[in-house]
Structure 1
Amino acid sequence: MTDPRPAIDRIVTLDVVRGVAVMGILFVNILGFALPDAARLSPRAWGLERPADLWAYAMTMVAFDGKMRGLFSFLFGASLLLVVDRAQAGGADPAAVHSRRMAWLFVLGLGHATLLWSGDILMHYALVGAVAYTLRRLSVRRMVAFGILFAAITWLFLGSIVLSYHAMEAARTPAAIQGLRDVENGFGIPAPALLAGEIALFRGSYAGIFHHNAGELPTTLFNVLFIGFETLGYMLFGMAALRSGMLTGAWPRHRLRRWAATGIGIGAAGHGGLALWMFSRGLDTGAILAGAFAMAPPLRAILIPGYAAAILLLARPGGAIAARLAAVGRMALSNYLASSIVMCFVFYGWGLGQFGRWPRAALYLPVLAMCGLMLAWSAPWLARYRYGPFEWLWRSLARWQWQTLRVRSSVPLR
């Protein structure tokens, strides 16, 4: 999500990739809106009714889970550099500009996390983005090297959790048995009482959901320590991609093809192999922890730049598809928050109350519908207005001055 500017002052290729990412992230987030928390990682937790549900789990695990968040982090790092460069070119203090943007992004995320959905990522990006700013002057090589180092810290931490799980299995002390039960509740099949309580909560009143969301804030902020190093690593990869010319159209197409083939080939094959191994284990808790939780992150680090290169190849600037995707990307913040509003209305008790009522595979029908809405409304909106509604609010708050919203003349839609 980036501080928006009129189209002439933007890198269209960056917007195209961001547009794909904001739609793709909903393929993962839908599980948090519609199903009990454990179901995101473990299909055995809820929503596994037909073979199609297993296929839906496998597809999400291989193609989307963690990858879209990583791609967003990748783009956030690139956008950070763009904003800093523009501030310096305009004679502004880049540190002050960046600090105000991150502070107000945190406030917007705080509102999102408490008023709507506890799975917010904006606060996370604001805090990690504050650290990423201090590394903006690194060379491209150092950005990549430090990115790998920071991401590896998270990977080692995730691996230690798997080792702890196996240690508890071997110990079988009362404390270890309780620990295994806690792990099963989070990554396997939760206790029926926990599932019933969660379903009743999200089918219930807005007051109850608001109270739950407020109580989840410490956990949400703790995730900065849990996955923050990996996020910082991906932001550095995005900075390197911008500085190297990958995201500005400077790379020749044969180089993009090589990166796309290598990244997607290795990443998808690795994830596919993990999925097959997990299925061979019956998707037990140990397989979920090791496969989807610990071994997948290094593979997605390879897959994410492959995705970016493939998107740049497929959506050439100037085409109708690229224009629509770029519009979605220019309004990424508004589309992200609009997705939360719509999905919370559909699944929570203050709306249609559909939480926990849909099998896993069926959830992708509202996802596809929401992606269609993003494609349908973003370009017409930007033909009339300079920014998306939440981009306008963020920009106005960060500058402490209401920004001009309407454009002076309509831009033809494609």
Structure 2
Amino acid sequence: MSLIVLLSPKAGSPASSCLKPARRSQAGIVEIMPPSPPVRHLTLDALRGIAVMGILAMNIIAFSMPQPAYINPLAWGGTSAADLGMWAVNFILVDGKMRGLFSLLFGASMLLVIDGAEAKGLSGGFIHARRMLWLMIFGLIHLYLIWYGDILFLYAVVGLIAYGFSHKDAPALLRLGIGLILTSFVFWAIMGVALIFMQHGAMAADASAGQIASYRGMIASIGAPDTAPIHHEIEIYRGSYTQILANSLAPDNIDAPLTTLLLTGLETLGLMLIGMALLRNGFLTGQWSRSQYRSVAIRAYLCGLPPMIALCLWCLASGFDPVTTFNAVLVWSTPFRIIMVIAHAALALSIILARPQSRLLRRIAAAGRVAFTNYLGTSIAMTALFYGYGLGLFGHVSRFHVYGFVLIGWAVMLWWSKPWLERFAYGPLEWLWRSLARGKIQSMRRTAPN
């Protein structure tokens, strides 16, 4: 099934007026209106809240365990049925899907800022560039001083590139986005096939010592259990802040932002462009009918879930062979992962339209409005819990039990975000980012009801 067909509204549907700013009346979420004044979209805020909460569920393994555990459950985290079951649930439903949803929403929000500035007669490109340059700085601080898993620098660089496509219409953006994701998939597929050939070569009867050594080094880096790199990583992150900082700034790690950009930049750009398209065609702002969202969700889950389950079973049947698991997680799941992003979004939007006044939904939307603070806040909190300069729990908590910390993180996000926004216009870091990007201190006073 083509994503372009799946995400294109039918002629005459509410989304046919997709290029106009919108909101919904009290009976729903959005109604067509003039471009001024600007309106917050409950759908975007709630989806962003779901995404930032989901990203914690995705990142918790990297906060609490050696990096190979993120891919391969045998690398670390326990091998009980509960531990392996949590890996399977994360792989099928969460891993890559929440980051994908966040990327869609980043593209959509970026477009709202650009279009809003231009509607006021300002330079959308200039304002966008300032925002992205400051986001790069935040990202580098996050990466080197707090946690190695930063995505802000990646988003800032890709966001600058995405501006060049911001004036295209929804169909063109969809085509370009899907094309970029497919190009990224081909790149990863070549890498995955190369790993398979390396494995076969190392296991051949006439394999040289060099082939075997290269293969062992490779699998040690992608998820083989009980390897020297794993124990070295545990030693580092159970150490002092000075030790962890020295590791972050080591020559082998200093180019991490560029490596991440090269490996994931095309897919991230593709997702941002799709997010722009889904803003322009009304999908993300709730302009489609509930039946349309349900239809998209059902068809996308039917296309995405069976292959994801099959890949999970393939990993299990292989005994979580490092090469097989690497390929399943990072390569062959790519097209189905993107379909699952759309499925999750469509399902969430159908629920949002059904219960727009839900108290829980309003709290999730508030968490989404301060997603920047919540994202960086969870990094600070989780590293303090797991790293040696805090409670030192790194590598000590099983995969199943570590999700208890996720539930606590979610509870904190839902607890503080809404009361804060009832008093203030922005989250703390949102205010700082906005003030820096605009070159003057912004008022924190809330001037209008939520």
Q: Report the TM-score when normalising by structure 1.
A: 0.95
| Deviates most, 317-326 or 86-95 | 317-326
- Where do 1:339-378 residues align within 5 Å? 339-378=378-417
Which is further off, 122-131 or 269-278?
Answer: 269-278
> Which residue of 2 is the match for residue 148 of structure 1?
178
Aligned length: 405
1:247 match: secondary structure: coil
What is the alpha-carbon distance in structure 1 between the residues aligned to residue 214 and residue 78 of structure 2?
25
Counterpart for residue 242 of structure 1 = 279
Aligned mates of 1:145, 1:223 — CA distance in 2? 24
Cα contact 1:331–1:378 (8 A) shared by 2: yes
Match of 1:25 among 48, 55, 67: 55
Secondary structure of 1:326's aligned partner = helix
Hey, which of these two has a bigger chunk of helix by percent?
A: 1
Taking the aligned partners of 1:201 and 1:348, their CA distance within structure 2 comes to 9
Q: For the residues of structure 1 that align with 2:316 and 2:150, how far apart are their CA atoms?
A: 30
Deviation at 1:194, TM superposition (A): 2.0
Match of 1:261 among 298, 308, 312: 298
Given candidates 218, 232, 247, the residue that maps to 1:183 is 218
Once the two structures are superposed, the pairs formed by residues 91-130 of structure 1 within 5 Å of their partners are 91-130=121-160
Give distance in 2, aligned partners of 1:212 and 1:373: 30
364-373 or 40-49, which deviates more: 40-49
Give the corresponding residue for 1:300.
Answer: 337
Deviates more, 1:208-217 or 1:371-380: 208-217
In the alignment, structure 2 segments of 5+ residues that lack a partner are 1-36, 202-206
Correspondence for 1:199 among 199, 223, 234: 234
Aligned partner letter, 1:149? G
Rate the CA distance shift 1:191–1:276 in 2: closer, same or farther, 3 A: closer
- 1:131 alignment partner, SS class: helix
The reply to whether residue 11 of structure 1 matches residue 14 of structure 2 is no
Mapped partners of 1:378, 1:369: distance in 2: 14
For the residue of structure 2 that corresponds to 1:185, the secondary structure is helix
Task: Kindly report which structure 2 residues correspond to 1:194-343, keeping only aligned pairs within 5 A, or say none.
Answer: 194-215=229-250, 216-316=253-353, 317-343=356-382
In 2, the alpha carbon distance for the partners of 1:319 and 1:175 equals 61
2:107, 2:273 within 8 Å by CA — same for their partners in 1? Answer: yes
- 1:38 and 2:68 are equivalent in the alignment: yes
| 1:10 CA displacement | 1.3
Give 2:100's aligned residue: 70
> What residue number does 1:398 align with?
437
| Mapped partners of 1:176, 1:402: distance in 2 | 59
Q: CA RMSD in A?
A: 1.5
Secondary structure of the structure 1 residue equivalent to 2:274: helix
Deviations 1:35-68 (A, max 9, x none): 0011000111111242110001101100111111
Instruction: State the AA in 1 paired with 2:140.
Output: L
| Equivalent pair of 1:347/1:355 in contact (CA under 8 Å) | yes
The answer on whether the counterparts of 2:184 and 2:264 sit within 8 Å (CA) in structure 1 is yes
Contact 1:119 1:220 in 2 (8 A): no
Range with bigger deviation, 176-185 or 348-357: 176-185
Percent sequence identity is: 40
| Cα separation, 2, equivalents of 1:63 and 1:14 | 20
1:4 corresponds to: none
1 CA distance for matches of 2:192 and 2:229?
A: 23
Counterpart residue number, 2:20: none
* SS of equivalent to 2:405: helix
Pairwise CA distance, 1:188: 2.6
Length-normalised TM-score, structure 2: 0.87
1:211 and 1:190 map into 2 onto residues whose CA distance is: 25
Q: Is the 8 A contact 1:118 1:220 kept in 2?
A: no
Encode CA deviations 1:382-414: one digit per residue, 9 max, x unaligned: 0011000010010000001010012258x58xx
- Residue 21 of structure 1 and its aligned partner are, at CA, apart by 0.4
User: Following the alignment from structure 1 to structure 2, what is the Cα–Cα distance between the partners of residues 170 and 297?
Assistant: 24
Describe the superposition over 1:120-172 as per-residue Cα deviations: whole angstroms up to 9, x where unpaired.
Answer: 00000000111111011222111111111101121111111121112213333
Per-residue deviation, residues 335-357 of structure 1 (Å, max 9, x unmatched): 00110011000000110000000
Q: Letter of the aligned partner of 1:141 in structure 2? A: P
Asked whether the equivalents of residues 107 and 159 of structure 2 are also in contact (C-alpha less than 8 Å), the reply is: yes
